[in-house]
Copies of this chain bind each other. A is one copy, B any other.
């Protein structure tokens, strides 16, 4: 099957799921339907089906798990938006803004349970293993979000701590999506774990790319406002590396710039970017990104599956990696 068919399978499956939800209490179920209807790239459930497709012609064995993982991911977004006070999600009102935080808490909890319910419908023989991977990963995602919130309050964070945080917050779920798909399709544990490693490192590369594109990306291609991380004083790889390399003057200037108000956003972006250029942090970030991507690719190459089969996964991630070039 190709990617388009996987996509179609997922959308049919989500729309079936939405229709199967009870009408009432609407305060509980309407936000779930709303969230699923907004969509998103469905990256995680696609990875689950692709992971399954490497080991089995029929990927329907992994469909419940794929649904469960996407529901889990969407549940975390509902709660993250409350914690981050984020008005928008995928260009639409977040549930917390459209309704209120109580509704976002409780419908998020219901979505979390629905996620487990779907995952628990995976084939019986591999169910304990699927749930072991899933619950370990889900806890790590919570740890990542907690660390991210903790970092906001710290004056400085090491690059290693940052990489660990984004690994937990973002990469491990991408990695587990692939691994669970493979396990559902009957893959050997060792092979499935190689896919996990691929997903983990490629996920780190994606996040580093996001950090780079936020500052150096082409606004038209990137689809987001350039410099948003700078304006928000977000501790990205670039900023942390800059603090690591900066002399006292540059540190003072970065500190000073962090106090700029929203009105001086464009001035602030230009000045911070200027320091990034002086210190060459873009190159460091790109090197780290390429290193992570290559580590991922090596793991993928070692998976004992015909390489033509692996090309669908390679193409999928390559496309996500070259959005800018």
Decide if A320 is an interface residue (CB 8 Å cutoff). no
Contact of A120 among B28, B109, B131, B147 (CB under 8 A): B131
Q: Give the residue name and chain of the B residue nearest to A137 (CB).
A: B113
Known A105-B83, A106-B83, A128-B124: A28·B113 in contact at CB below 8 Å: no
0 or 1 for each of A84-114: is its CB under 8 Å from B? (1 = yes): 0000000000000000011001100110111
Interface residues in A, total, Cβ within 8 A? 37
Closest residue to A144 on the B side, CB-wise?
Answer: B25
Query: Is there contact, CB below 8 Å, between A142 and B83?
Result: no
Nearest chain B residue, comparing its CB with the CB of A125: B124
Instruction: Give the distance in Å from the alpha carbon of A27 to the alpha carbon of B149 in the complex.
Output: 10
Question: Measured between alpha carbons, how far is A278 from B28 in the docked complex, in Å?
Answer: 39
Q: How far is the CA of A143 from the CA of B30 in the complex (A)?
A: 12
- Interface assignment of A135: CB less than 8 Å from any CB of chain B: yes
Answer yes or no: A282 CB below 8 A from chain B CBs: no
A117-B135, A131-B120 known; A146 and B109 CB under 8 Å?
no
Contacts of A83 in B (CB 8 A): 102, 105-106
Contact with B along A49-60 (1 / 0, CB 8 A): 000000000000
Known A-B contacts A120-B132, A135-B120; the reply to A28 vs B146 at CB < 8 A is yes
For the complex, give the distance between the alpha carbons of A150 and B138 in Å. Answer: 30
Which residues of A292-317 are within 8 A (CB) of B? none
Q: Are A139 and B127 in contact (CB under 8 A)?
A: no
A275 CB-CB contact with B under 8 Å:
no
C-alpha spacing A105/B85, complex, angstroms: 13
A285 at the interface (CB under 8 A from B): no
C-alpha gap A149/B104 in the complex (Å):
13
Say yes or no: A110 contacts B25, CB within 8 Å: no
> Which residue of chain B has its CB nearest to the CB of A72?
B113
Q: Which of B113, B127, B128, B147 contacts A138 (CB under 8 A)?
A: B113
In the bound assembly, the distance between CA atoms of A127 and B138 in angstroms comes to 19
Contact A135 B106 (CB under 8 A): no
A150-B79 contact given A116-B131, A139-B113, CB 8 Å threshold: no
A-B contact pairs, 9 of them (CB 8 A): A25-B143, A25-B146, A83-B106, A106-B142, A109-B109, A113-B139, A116-B135, A124-B127, A127-B127
